[in-house]
A and B are shown apart, each in its own frame.
Chain A
Amino acid sequence: MEPQPRIGVYICHCGVNISAMVDVEQVAEFAATLPSVAVARDYLYMCSDPGQALIRQDIEEHRLNRVVVASCSPRMHEPTFRGAAQQAGLNPYLVEMANIREQCSWVHSDREKATEKAKLLVASAVAKAALLEPLEEREVEVTPGVVVIGGGIAGMVAALDVADAGFPVYLVEKSDHLGGRVADLNRVFPTLEPVTDLLEPLIERVRSHPNVTVFLNAQVAGVEGYVGNFEVAVSGFRVSGSRLNELETSNLKPETHRLNIGSIIVATGYDVFDPHRKPEYGYGQYPNVITSLEMERRLAEGNLAVDGRTPQSVAFIQCVGSRDAQVGNLYCSRVCCMYTAKQAQLVQELLPEARVTVFFIDVRTFGKGGEEFYDEARAKGVRYRRGNISEIIRRGDRVVLLAEDTLLRQPIEFEADLVVLAVGMEPRSDTAALSSLLKLPRSSDGFFLEAHPKLRPVDTAVDGVFLAGCCQGPKDIPDTIAQAKAAASSALIPLIRGAVQVEAATAVVDVEECAGCGTCVEVCPYGAPALDPYLNVSVVNAVLCKGCGACASACPSKAIHLQRFTPEQILAQVDALVE
């Protein structure tokens, strides 16, 4: 006979994240009055070491056999609290969480009502906890291998790290060449190193690495499975080694390749802001107005002439398509201040007589060597003027920039022969499609959303899928590479371990109740239940069961149920919530 439930309830303040909107002391007092609750406390940070120690200590001192933590989403810290319980000798599946942060304190603004709701959520978790049963942890083997989506600098660096660790990598690139957006650049800031010096050795290593398979003109057509065992369908050209160069001349037809791998790295990069969306700048109308990427090519060619004339006045406009509510991009693209400082320096060096002026809102040259680089630009003669350009109009062969100098607080008209628009970064136009294929959430700016803005900047909401580079948000090359290497090591964890934990909560059959009708066999997408030919009852293969519960809700005799989500547990939650 099971011992009576003795539940410990822990209400987390989460600093002030919860306690500012929920009266946590009141919730703890309320929890203490609930049936089977042996101890109820509130604490500043339940996930901290002392917070977890509190749980462990109470399990021993108060002989707790169930734990309820009311804090953040179980998607965040359920493993933490399960671990704490396990350390104190309690089965980790006897822990239940109440989500009073993401689904309460962060979304409500009436403290009294939020506190009442938090009480209900705690009561619901306590009601369920009393009915929880211990479960056994299970593991499955991992298919070694990683798919990296995107063959830019992020994707290549991540692919090489995984390949160097000894695992096969499949690098899927949409275009017909590797290198991504970086390949469009001339020199990099702040070292002024030619891009080819950086990129070519990298491409060569990817090309020659025995563990790397490259797909060009390729895209991901489908993703199935879960961490450790994904099946990714890639449609495109499989190229390896020397054939990388032959793609254009070959008559290969794109094929669909099914890749079985353990983790996925998304490194799809960004789109460049299209300045046609800022018609006031006259891009596409005036030959004098070009984008920063066009400037990269001109600098590579060493030719800055407009209609055959050498410019006397070159103006750079910052934040084109960034920090701009009109075009819907509130964020800073983080690289434009630095690449403008770079281009302005290079222009000043090429044309020592020319007047080179940068119009800015704020200069943001953070990062190692950034501020020094900006100082260098000014020392070389580049002038910085604070002012947002409202319009560019034509005057003869030149253009006139209309602006307000926001330091002098006076309107200015500035003549230029060549205007460079520092275009920012945007989420790729195919982000939505990939988002729905991989079930990856996006943040309000449209880029892919990391699992936590501070603690898990490389992980996603989907286990086994990681982010690298600008698909997660604008960043420069060093930050991109840092994230790519982080994504590679995270992606390697399940591969090196060789196993991942799978759902412990599977469906189980009460053979006394089962009539052998086979409904569960029909509804299960994984073929987990089967009818025993001798006993004529359903038997669940726990390895195949993914724990969705479809069989339980379909069973006419209620003979099959999903562990951790039994009808008794759910209806007890309903009782607690509705009373």
Chain B
Amino acid sequence: MNNDAFEPKIVAFLCNWCTYTGADLAGTSRIQYPPNVRIIRLMCSGAVDPTYVLKPLLDGADGVLIGGCHPGDCHYQSGNYKARRRIIALKEILKSAGYDEERVWLRWISASEGQRFAETVTKMTEFLKEKGPNPMRQKWAV
């Protein structure tokens, strides 16, 4: 497959208070980024269930981005730490099962970091273009 024509699909789970608002700030600041990301709003990154990450990857998404508040800044005190532990464990499991854990990104992006959000999406899109389409696609049925 020609990777130039390949447009990766990224599903993003963003916490309402930091990263979702940061994505809004990228908008109000008109900071451009690739349209490959599709955002799902959650209240907290600590509410990201492992199935939320696995389902898009198995259904054909090329990457999953989880965005939360910086350590210490969680609106719910400690949700982002829960997300960090959970995503690290999930990536270990993916790796040991022979799947590509690098397609899952967890990033701390605050409400004031519109630029950082746009840069993260741009970098992730480029990274996934480099990697090519997700081979996990259609291997399993959920």
Given A103-B24, A523-B82: A574 in contact with B55 (beta carbons within 8 A): yes
**Scoring A residues 526 to 569 as 1 if CB is less than 8 Å from chain B, else 0, what string do you get?**
00000000000000000000111110111000000010010100
CB distance from A576 to the nearest CB of B (A): 9
**Are A107 and B49 within 8 A (Cβ)?**
no
A55 at the interface (CB under 8 A from B): no
B43 touching A565 by the CB < 8 A rule? Answer: yes
State whether the Cβ of B25 lies closer than 8 Å to any Cβ in chain A: yes
Neighbouring A residues of B20 by C-beta, 8 Å? 75
Number of A-B contacts (CB under 8 A): 144
Contact of A554 among B21, B82, B111, B118 (CB under 8 A): B82
Which residues of chain A from 108 to 149 have a CB within 8 Å of any chain B CB? 108-110, 113-114, 116-117, 120-121, 124
User: What 1/0 mask marks residues of chain B from 62 to 78 whose CB sits below 8 Å from any chain A CB?
Assistant: 00000001100101111
Please, which residues of chain A bring their CB within 8 A of the CB of B107? none
CB atoms of A440 and B112 under 8 A apart: yes
Contact across chains for A106 and B28 when beta carbons are under 8 A apart: yes
B92 to chain A, nearest CB (A): 17
Stretch at the interface among A163-171, A199-207, A441-449: A441-449
Shortest Cβ distance from A573 into B: residue: B40
* Distance in angstroms between the alpha carbons of A386 and B70 in the assembled complex: 48
CA distance A461 to B19 in the complex (A): 13
Q: Is the CB of A574 within 8 A of B56?
A: yes
Contact of B24 with A550 in the complex, beta carbons under 8 Å: no
- A525 sits at the interface (CB 8 A): yes
Cβ distance A249 to chain B, nearest Cβ, rounded Å: 39
B11 touches A73 (CB 8 A): no
Residues of A within 8 A of B11 (CB): 574, 577-578
Identify the closest chain B residue to A567 (Cβ): B49
Check if A74 is an interface residue, CB within 8 A of chain B.
yes
Also in contact, A550 and B46, with CB within 8 A (given A106-B28, A570-B40, A578-B61): yes
Shortest CB distance B111–A (Å): 5
B1-37 vs A: 1/0 string, CB under 8 Å?
0000000010100000110110111111111111100
Residue of B nearest to A570 (CB): B52
Provide the bound-state CA to CA distance between A554 and B59, in Å: 23
Tell yes or no: B89 within 8 A of A by CB.
no
Sort chain A's interface into a size bin. 35 or more
Question: Are A444 and B86 in touch, CB under 8 angstroms?
Answer: no
Number of interface residues of B (CB under 8 A): 51
Among the listed B43, B51, B59, which residue makes an inter-chain contact with A578, where contact means beta carbons less than 8 Å apart?
B59
Query: Which residues does chain A contribute within 8 Å of B40, judged by CB atoms?
Result: 124, 570, 573-574, 577
Bound-state CA distance A436–B111 (Å) is 10
Residues of B within 8 A of A443 (CB): 29
Q: Does B44 contact A (CB under 8 A)?
A: yes
Q: Is A101 on the interface with B (CB-CB < 8 A)?
A: yes
Given contacts A442-B112, A525-B78, A571-B52, contact A103 B17 (CB under 8 A): no
**A550 CA to B31 CA in the complex, in Å?**
32
Q: CA of A108 to CA of B18 in the docked complex: distance in angstroms?
A: 21
* Chain A window 441-469, contacts with chain B (Cβ cutoff 8 Å), 1 for yes, 0 for no: 11110000100010000000100000000
**Minimal beta-carbon separation of A228 from chain B (angstroms):** 15
Cβ A553 vs Cβ B49 within 8 A: yes
CB<8 Å pairs between A and B, sample of 12: A102-B26, A103-B23, A106-B28, A107-B32, A108-B35, A124-B40, A436-B110, A439-B75, A439-B111, A525-B76, A548-B44, A550-B76
| 17 other A-B residue contacts (CB within 8 Å) besides A107-B26, A439-B111, A578-B9 | A106-B30, A117-B38, A124-B38, A436-B73, A436-B110, A441-B111, A441-B112, A525-B76, A525-B78, A548-B43, A548-B47, A554-B82, A565-B42, A567-B49, A574-B52, A574-B59, A578-B60
A residues near B (Cβ < 8 Å) are 73-75, 99, 101-104, 106-110, 113-114, 116-117, 120-121, 124, 435-436, 439-444, 449, 453, 461, 505, 523, 525, 546-550, 552-554, 562, 565, 567, 570-571, 573-575, 577-579
